[in-house]
Amino acid sequence: MKVGEFDWKHANVGQGAVSAVLHALKYLVILLILVSVGLMLLARDDGPARFRSVLQEMQFLVLVFGLVLTMLGFFRGAYPKGSYSRLTFGMSVAVLAIIYVFMLLLGGGLQEAIAHDLFDLDLKLIFTLYFVSAMFTVFMQLGEFVDHRHPWLEGSAQIAAQEKEDPAQHRWFHDFRLRYGSLFNGLKLSRSTLVGFVLLPLIFIIILRGALSSLGSEEVDAMLSSLDEVAAFMLLLGLPLTALAFPKGFYPKGSFSRFLPAMAMVLISLYWIWVLGMEGKFALDVMEEVSINLDYSALLLLIMAGTALWFVYYVLELWLYRPEWKEGGFRKDIDKKWRKKREEVKDEALKEEPEQPALVAEDTGKGAAEAEQVVPAIVNEGAATEQPSLVAEDTGKVTAETEQPVQVKEEN
């Protein structure tokens, strides 16, 4: 680790302030408002006393951890991506956030309060699911450092810039090279897929199972067994989707290495919707003579048709982004502004090309104009043209040696 990268000259106060505001909203303001509203609602004498004490303890934890995470978030945002300073503060935020959530459980006190006044809820299992997604956040800090380390060193003139790859020698199967990918983008998409297709549905099932278990009827037992089947199905399809999401986010737009897993994800998502929607039919026997039957297959097919449009999207993405990715030298998709910068460099290069002849004329002065008259005369008489033109360009005037051959030719 280079201690010099913690120097404040590398920091940006504006970006640090924006990051601090976002961290404050995420870890302090929103949670503090929720806890304060809960205390106001339970301020009456007939409110559950156990919940009031729990919320008061949580309020203190939110203030302490929220302020610390806000301060760390400022330094994380202030330092540039790819530096050891940003990696250090980013890892600190990610690890402290896990401790923060664990402390909010109050050593089992929150679970006991919910079980006493509402129903049994397995908060330890919910925290375990959160811990899995939080570990993705920890590894994302490492991925961001690896992705941006070389570009940051190039930008700070600490290492030489890499040469662009020749598009003529590139084949489609070369798209799977690891150097084209971004660890941060791959881990980020995997985490969002895991949360959306696995963790959130499982948390919903855990809460619903705890609420239904408190009813204690025979009809509920059948529903609980069906919830267990749905949970197993979430894991069965959600984990392959999470695995496919990594190469999809890892490789840039316009590559076949992104296109193929993206198409596979759409196929699995269609099956996920069909099975989770129970094939468009729902039946529930509430009592011996009362039953509920719903047929929403048309709505389910409409949702699947809309999901299938992603096939068209990824085909167009490959077709539109591939030429741009090739022209850019097969760069990683780690910076949203790299396309704009590349266009600016291209425009500057086009502006400089027509100005080159004018610059030569300005450097040579009057000698260039005289050379244009002397050289054609020598060419017409069969004399050598290289030496007079070079002398005219170097000295800025026509010498006597250049004029003498022309006079001899005219006398003859």
Taking CB atoms within 8 Å and a gap of at least 24, the contacts of 389-397 are: 392/364, 392/367, 392/368, 393/364, 393/367, 393/368, 395/367, 396/364, 396/365, 396/366, 396/367, 397/365, 397/366, 397/367, 397/370
Asked if residue 83 has pLDDT above 80, the reply is: yes
For position 248, what pLDDT does the model report? Answer: 95
Name the pLDDT band for 46 (thresholds 50, 70, 90).
low
Is residue 283 helix, strand or coil? strand
Asked if residue 59 has pLDDT above 80, the reply is: yes
For position 247, what pLDDT does the model report? Answer: 95
Q: Of 68, 88, 78, 77, whose CA–CA distance to 28 is shortest?
A: 68
Name the pLDDT band for 61 (thresholds 50, 70, 90).
very high
Phi first, then psi: what are they for 48, rounded to 5°?
A: -65, 120
First to last CA, the chain: 82
Structure tokens that stand for 51 in this block: 């919940």
pLDDT 10s digits, 12-31:
999 999 999 999 999 999 99
Name the pLDDT band for 258 (thresholds 50, 70, 90).
very high
Name the pLDDT band for 352 (thresholds 50, 70, 90).
low
For position 378, what pLDDT does the model report? Answer: 39
For position 222, what pLDDT does the model report? Answer: 73
Taking CB atoms within 8 Å and a gap of at least 24, the contacts of 347-355 are: none
Is residue 395 helix, strand or coil? helix
Give the DSSP letter of residue 43: -
Asked if residue 348 has pLDDT above 90, the reply is: no
Which of residues 51 and 370 earns the better pLDDT score?
51
Helix segments in 251-383, DSSP class H: 256-276, 297-327, 338-352, 356-364, 366-380
* Domains of the chain by residue range: 1-159, 179-335, 364-411
For position 244, what pLDDT does the model report? Answer: 96
Q: What does the alpha-carbon distance between residue 232 and residue 223 come to, in Å, rounded to a whole number?
A: 14
Q: What does the alpha-carbon distance between residue 291 and residue 283 come to, in Å, rounded to a whole number?
A: 7
Looking at residues 110-114, what average pLDDT do you find?
87
pLDDT 10s digits, 169-198:
888 888 899 889 999 999 999 999 999 999
Count the Cβ atoms, other than its own, within 10 Å of residue 208.
Answer: 14
Asked if residue 105 has pLDDT above 80, the reply is: yes
C-alpha distance from residue 362 to each of 79, 144, 239 (Å): 46, 49, 68
Name the pLDDT band for 294 (thresholds 50, 70, 90).
confident
Name the pLDDT band for 381 (thresholds 50, 70, 90).
very low
Q: Give the global pTM.
A: 0.75
Question: For the chain, what's the residue count?
Answer: 412
pLDDT 10s digits, 357-371:
444 334 444 444 444
Residue 282: enclosing H or E segment and its boundaries? strand 281-285
CB 304 within 8 A of CB 272: no
pLDDT 10s digits, 129-174:
999 999 999 999 999 999 998 888 877 666 666 667 777 888 888 8
Q: Of 76, 75, 78, 70, whose CA–CA distance to 28 is shortest?
A: 70
Asked if residue 49 has pLDDT above 80, the reply is: no
The letter for the amino acid at 124 is: K
Residue 292: enclosing H or E segment and its boundaries? strand 291-295
Looking at residues 279-301, what average pLDDT do you find?
72
Q: Tell me which residue has tokens 């048309």.
A: 298
DSSP string, 53-101: HHHHHHHHHHHHHHHHHHHHHHHHHHSPTTSHHHHHHHHHHHHHHHHHH
Give the DSSP letter of residue 158: S
**Average pLDDT of every residue of the chain:** 79
Looking at residues 297-310, what average pLDDT do you find?
91
Asked if residue 379 has pLDDT above 90, the reply is: no
